[in-house]
Amino acid sequence: MGTFSLAPDRLAWCAELRELAGRRLAPLAEQGEPGRVNRPLIAELGQLGLLERLFTSGALDLCLMRESLARVCTEAETALALQGLGAHPVHAYGTKEQRERWLPEVGAGRAVAAFALSEPGAGSDAAALALRADGDGGAGRGWRLTGEKCWISNAPEADCYTVFARTDPDPAAGARGVTAFLVPADRPGLSGDHLDMLSPHPIGSLAFDGVPVGPADVLGEVGGGFRVAMNTLNLFRPSVGAFAVGMAQAALDATLAHTAQREAFGGPLKDLQAVAHQVADMALRVESARLMVYAAAAAYDEGAEGVPRRAAMAKLLATETAQQVVDTAVQLHGARALQRGHLLEHLYREVRAPRIYEGATEVQRAVIARELYKTEASR
């Protein structure tokens, strides 16, 4: 398979995913409550074997899953992605005991995982984390987590959290003072609340009141949490772009059907040059974003150089593109697209958040520039 083309078996798999999403996942999504974890939907993703693939597939297959599901059922796409984001650090950095305890449960859809990085004062600036991990009575005995996490997907309903906390209180330690912990939801002192957000997937806050964690809960190494977070985001950022591409393609498909059928000014909308040119531009943007997402994912899988830059570029281009394409689709549909329950009304609410989470657009630009100058300095 070349970097910019998909083999027939992968294309067939994508078509199969779209069919499954429409037949088995969308009905469960419709029965869910917006802003709450949809456990029947997650269980069905597990039954279909898609959650297990999160831990056996590469970045490109993750992108193909997310794009394919997003074209048909964004709720299923997001449920899948959040399981992967929350549990990938366990898969990549967990101990044998941690992996055996949680990965089968997450993969089967019986346990819900969450990635707890953001805080009220540390969103895109992940190195500024303030959640404290205070030593609990001597070396080797563990820590007590005290502080707050905010904007955490699947909180407060998840069964386990990948939590990033500051084990070195020295401000000069910066990112080197952060450690990743695997924290079960039933730990004493851990509580949370739902947040009422524009996007329909579950998001909440978490409060840590002296939550006990020990050496057995560490993911990776003490002081190595920032690496765990960044490596996870390097994998998932292109797939956020794939989610955006899936939504943009759904908006383009709807626009093609609408403008071919809708009569105005004596003929179908598609015969108006102003409309046709906008549709052409939508298609150009979607395909450009798709190719960059695939290229970034292929680079990750191949272990190529420049993965952080490529991942940031893919996420930035695809999410900004999706916003533009969905907005144009709404404009070409007119008032009907703003009616509650319309596909584009749904996409219009969904498409905004990816430009912020897992590193806002502005952060992606900073990453790209930093990596470019780093490369230049090494020549």
pLDDT digits (tens, 9 = 90+) for 266-289: 889 999 999 999 999 999 999 999
95 within a domain of the structure (yes/no): yes
313-347 burial, b for 16+ CB within 10 Å, e for fewer?
bbbbbbbbbbbbbbebbbebbeeebeeeebebbbb
Q: Is there a single domain that holds both residue 273 and residue 191?
A: no
Q: Please report which confidence band the pLDDT of residue 3 belongs to, taking 50, 70 and 90 as the band edges.
A: very low
Which of 154-158, 302-306, 323-327 is least confident? 302-306
Q: Is there a single domain that holds both residue 139 and residue 157?
A: yes
Q: Is there a single domain that holds both residue 247 and residue 196?
A: no
Separation of first and last alpha carbons in the chain = 31
58 within a domain of the structure (yes/no): yes
Question: What confidence score (pLDDT) does residue 201 get?
Answer: 85
- CATH of residue 152: 2.40.110.10
Q: Where is 297: in which H helix or E strand?
A: helix 273-302
Is 350 among the catalytic positions? no
Number of domains in the chain: 3
Q: Is there a single domain that holds both residue 234 and residue 371?
A: yes
DSSP code of residue 33: P
Q: Please report which confidence band the pLDDT of residue 2 belongs to, taking 50, 70 and 90 as the band edges.
A: very low
Please name the amino acid found at residue 345: E
What pTM, to 2 d.p., does this model score? 0.92
What is the residue range of 58's domain? 8-108
* pLDDT for 1 beyond 80: no
3 within a domain of the structure (yes/no): no
346 within a domain of the structure (yes/no): yes
Question: What confidence score (pLDDT) does residue 307 get?
Answer: 92
Helix (H, G, I), strand (E, B) or coil at 23: helix
Q: Please report which confidence band the pLDDT of residue 138 belongs to, taking 50, 70 and 90 as the band edges.
A: low
* pLDDT for 221 beyond 90: yes
Question: What confidence score (pLDDT) does residue 128 get?
Answer: 80
- CATH of residue 323: 1.20.140.10
* pLDDT for 112 beyond 70: yes
Q: Which of 358, 362, 371, 376 is catalytic?
A: 358
Give the pLDDT mean for 149-158: 96
371 within a domain of the structure (yes/no): yes
Q: Please report which confidence band the pLDDT of residue 139 belongs to, taking 50, 70 and 90 as the band edges.
A: low
Mean of pLDDT over the chain: 93
